[in-house]
Structure formats: C-alpha cells, structure tokens
C-alpha cells in the first residue's frame, strides 16, 4: 500500500510540472485566470446538475457523467489554487490549517487541524 497523497507532495510535483510546461509563462496572472476558468467550469457543471435534479431541461449529460466531470473540475481548481499559492510564497497545508483553525476558534467549534501551533 502506498502512502496517501499529501499537500506537500502534490505541490512539489505540481510546481515541477508547471515549470516544465509553462517555463517563463509561469506567472501569477496566468494561474489566477486558470483558477477563475476552472472554477467557472465547475460551477457550470453544478448548474447542469441542479437543472437535472429539479426536472428542468438543459442538463446536458446524465447525472453520472456530470458528477464525473465535476470531480475533474474540482481537481483542476485545486491544481491552479496550489499554483496561485506558490506565487504568494505559501503552501496549501499552511493556509488551510491556519484558516480552518481560526474559524473553529472564532465560532467555538471543536474541530481543529493538526499542524498549527495557534489552533487553540
């Protein structure tokens, strides 16, 4: 059995591939536009699923195909989000842990992620 994917491993490989693919075009602007585009594609799939679930026309593919497409769009959003984070010099695990724990603390939730010394 292999180890589960971590943000650290994902980010390292994602950034290596991006540098190989994009070279000098590896810019914040490019990645922000990619993030916006992929988020829009995900929202469009969700809109079509909503139409199907409410018996409206315009759902396009069936629900199974749309759910599969949504999974791909979610991955695309995460890939671009990681690349945007790179340009700000942060990692997904650091910012997610910090923000998740700050929100839990603010609203008194018991759920906290490990890795942030200021969690409680």
Q: Exposed, middle or buried by CB within 10 Å (0-12, 13-18, 19+), for 48?
A: buried
Distances (CA, A) of 43 to 20, 46, 78: 29, 5, 14
Quick check: 61 and 48 in contact, CB under 8 A? yes
Q: Where are the domains of the chain?
A: 7-89, 90-120
Residue 14: closest CA among 84, 71, 74, 64: 84
Which one is the CATH code of 7-89: 3.40.1110.10, 3.40.50.300, 1.10.287.1080, 2.60.40.1220? 1.10.287.1080
51-69 residue pLDDT tens: 999 988 877 788 999 999 9
- Output the average pLDDT for the chain: 91
1-26 residue pLDDT tens: 577 899 999 999 999 999 999 887 78
pTM (two decimals): 0.87
């Amino acid at each position: 059995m292999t180890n589960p994917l971590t943000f650290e491993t994902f980010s390292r490989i994602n950034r290596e591939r991006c540098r190989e693919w994009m070279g000098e075009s590896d810019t914040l602007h490019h990645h922000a536009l990619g993030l916006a585009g992929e988020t829009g594609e995900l929202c469009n799939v969700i809109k079509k699923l909503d139409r199907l679930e409410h018996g409206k026309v315009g759902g396009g593919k069936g629900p199974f195909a749309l759910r599969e497409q949504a999974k791909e769009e979610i991955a695309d959003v995460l890939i671009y989000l990681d690349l945007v984070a790179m340009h700000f010099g942060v990692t997904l695990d650091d910012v997610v842990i910090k923000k998740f724990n700050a929100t839990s603390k603010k609203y008194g939730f018991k759920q906290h992620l490990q890795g942030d010394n200021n969690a409680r």
